[in-house]
A and B are shown apart, each in its own frame.
Chain A
Amino acid sequence: MTTTPSTGGPSDSVLQDFADMSAALTGFQSSFLRPFLDPTNLSEVFYNFAVAQVGQTAMDNLLAAFRSRKSQTPPLTAQQIADSLLEVTTPTGKESNQAQLAQAVILMWYLGSWYTPAYQTANKQPGQVLQVISSQAYTKSLVWNVAQAHPMGFSAFTFGYWSQPPAGLATFGVNTGGGQ
């Protein structure tokens, strides 16, 4: 549930921007990542975890970059916003620190773990994992939805479901509208 944060925590509007940016980056619906009733509150957990790792300024700058693209006219699609923040046309390894942070945000949502951005690692290589952020970060991790499945060890399905094809990808929270 959206609530007024305690002193010092991120404001509701910051968390909503973080969820909207995460939605563009991950290809999921913002309301799926940060539902009105949100017992796991992962958007705030992830925001705080990322800030603790990369610092407030880096996160503020990434969110500012997102806001500026979101307010462009004519409006950008969610895919265009993601591609821009991730600098997908830049050769791999040459993308900015900010784009590497955007990658880490995707990986938090998809894999439930913090992958240290390459610029913060000793050998400047991506893919170095620090930790599973929480058990809920694992059981809610999105890559399993992309696979039309469930986290291994956390199935909400019932006996025999595996003998039939799954429900369509659209039922797993992904953004099917092509926009916000």
Chain B
Amino acid sequence: MSNGNGNGSDTPQYDVVIVGAGVSGNLIAKQLGLAGKKVLILEAGPAVPDSREQYMENFYLALAKTPESPYPSLAGRIGPGVGTLPNPSEIPTPRATVLSIGAPPDVSHLIQSETAGVSGTTPDNQPEVRQLQFSSTYDRIGGGTAWHWLGSVPRLVPHDLTMKTTYGVFYDWPIEYSEMQTLWGLAESEIGVAASVTQQVPLQAAIGMVYPPGYEYPMGPIPSSVVDQTVSNGVSGMSVPGEGSEGGKEYSVFVTNTPAGRNSEPYQDRRVCAGNTNCIPICPIQAKWDPTVTLGDALNTGNVTVSYQSVAVNIAVDGNNVTQVDYLKWSYDDKGNLQSTPASVTGKIYVSACHAIENAKLLLLSNDQKGIANKSDQVGRNLMDHVLYLAWALAPSQVWGYRGPLATGGIESLRDGEFRTNRAAFRMEIGNEGWNFACGDPYTTTLDFVTGSNGSQLNSGPTRLGGTALVNTLNDRLTRQFRFGLLLEQAPQADNRVTIDQNNTDGLKIPRPHVDYGFDKYTLEGFRVAAETCSAIFQQMGAQEFTQPTVNPYPKDKYPDGKTMGPGDFNYEKKMYHMYGAGHIMGTHRMGTDPCTSVVDATQKSHDVQNLWIVGSGSFPTVATANPTLTIMALAFKSAEAIKAALGA
């Protein structure tokens, strides 16, 4: 491949070449830039815009206000010509989108089963569900997927790092909790986390959450919503019983304020949160930290350069060393035709930071598709999500959702316990957006009461209303809506796997990711308990539950040929469930101490390739129940220090 940027000598062009301008890549670039190292970031997607106004306009005009809707290359913005999702084989940087879950390859970037989940048993007669649709999505743009992260930044709890030692399942992390505490502190400072250590104190007895003596978050907490306050009052004194050998133990259920990556006071030239209730898909005022903040800092060091619209296609390796990264620089000509030019770039050290699925894809594509950094055969395996169980209800009195950040509180007290020997734990996030996630409200309920339909289940009469009667009815229903979103700890499974699909390529003729996905008994049992716990809490609160097992997430006029079950639906013990993606894509290049069973070491350096770091949530050996961005950043700080040391800084 031609060396488009080459200087013709043996001197590397940069100290470090990073693939991906997202959470990890930008933070590592910033740390190296501050240390005087010359860094190039190759970003597949378009540049960070000068202002987010165009992204906001995209969002306003999107019919389906999905996480991807504000961002370039397509989707929610449908307008005239409804249903025109782009064909991933025709565009340079296709991405996984909510609107394409379960769709065929001419719509979905990810190649995967189009069925509902298939229930069965493993060879050793354990229940399992296979052929599920992996339902988390990601963007390929300057700034990365965390343009639309929620902003919740709980830390892991100590046992999350020692699942093998403590509970005899899965793997231990190769990092001590005390070191993670230091790294989380750095990440919390970078983000500007709003929280109070004092408010987290009850979690010490419940789940072992401890902070170093004297630690304080960078700013005071985001106030808890009326929804949080109502749930907190409603579960006062409540506990749920332990399971199995834990008979007699009671797990107390209580609400705590969630540490937040959004400003409670001005921080780093960004405003305080105004409660736009839009952290996903886009904060209109950047009160929520996002990776473009850190990218700006990186560029301001004067040592970091970004090459946008540059899709890495090969990490070239000679022996145990990366020699260059080959990439395609793409653009559209005046007539709208996609063009690309091959180029290469050299550095002393290379960092693959393009998120869990694209990291795996790039590693597997490299070396003429023989793969690199994969002597363990674990690249692409152990794909995990915080599979999300969603439960929703009408509170007995008004709670006034649709106000404030999307989530300000949760029930953390069920995130750890001996039950983790047998089934997934979960953290319960309390939503502040009514039934927006649950059933597309306030749109669905409004349509129901105006046209006489019943998509919300709230108009079973059915009635059709107008005028003041419509106002009063909708006000009563909408202001009592709330939901829980449960982040379930998914088990690492070797057969939950990203591979490359030779038969389906993108607009640059690059093979696209193929995903095989399902749940084992550990995860399924977590779902069962998750559903039971939500119902018990609703009952305790006097709330009326409306959780539906089946929600069809895509336009019914296009898929799935009249099937009653859709993507994300599955049966377990004769009960129907629906799982959502949490947007937390993890586990495809897990870290560990043993090169035979893991891909990277504790600094996220490849075991096999000496000057290659593979970073991000793909490194998580287990996923526990904490939203991952804080830990992604913590690990990036550790990687940056290791890279500096390797460069002789």
Contacts and interface: CB of A to CB of B under 8 A. Distances in A.
A162 B408 contact: yes
Interface string B185-196: 000000000000
A152 B278 contact: yes
B201 interface: no
B402 A147 contact: yes
5 contacts: A82-B470, A88-B464, A131-B78, A143-B443, A165-B400
Contact of A132 (B63, B225, B479): B63
A150 B63 contact: no
B82 interface: yes
A contact patch SS: mixed
Contact of A135 (B61, B277, B479): B61
Contact of B223 (A27, A92, A148, A160): A160
Contact of B479 (A24, A113, A148): A148
Contact of A79 (B62, B447, B467): B467
Interface of A: 24-28, 78-79, 81-83, 85-86, 88, 92-93, 95, 102-103, 106-107, 110-111, 113, 115, 118, 126-127, 129-132, 134-135, 138-139, 143-144, 146-150, 152-155, 157-166, 169, 174-175, 178
Contacts of A139: 60
Interface in B78-102: 78-80, 82
Interface string B389-408: 00000000010111111001
A103 B450 contact: yes
B478 interface: yes
Interface size class of B (residues with CB under 8 A): 35 or more
B446 interface: yes
A152 B471 contact: no
Contacts of A95: 464
B134 interface: no
B474 A146 contact: yes
B272 interface: yes
Given A155-B274, A159-B275, A163-B225, A86 B475 contact: no
Interface of B: 56-57, 59-63, 65, 78-80, 82, 223-226, 229, 264, 272-278, 282, 284, 398, 400-405, 408, 432-434, 436, 442-443, 446-447, 450-453, 455, 462-472, 474-475, 478-479
Contacts of A93: 452
Nearest to A157: B275
A163 B446 contact: no
A159 B274 contact: yes
Given A153-B276, A155-B276, A163-B224, A26 B470 contact: yes
A78 B464 CA distance: 16
Nearest to A156: B274
A48 B463 CA distance: 29
Contacts of A157: 274-275, 403
A81 B467 CA distance: 9
Contact of A150 (B60, B273, B403, B465): B403
Contacts of B432: 162
A28 B226 CA distance: 26
A148 B273 CA distance: 19
A150 B433 CA distance: 11
A153 B466 contact: no
A169 B475 contact: yes
B442 A147 contact: yes
B533 to A, nearest CB: 25
A125 B478 CA distance: 24
A162 B80 contact: no
Contacts of B451: 92, 103, 115, 118, 126-127
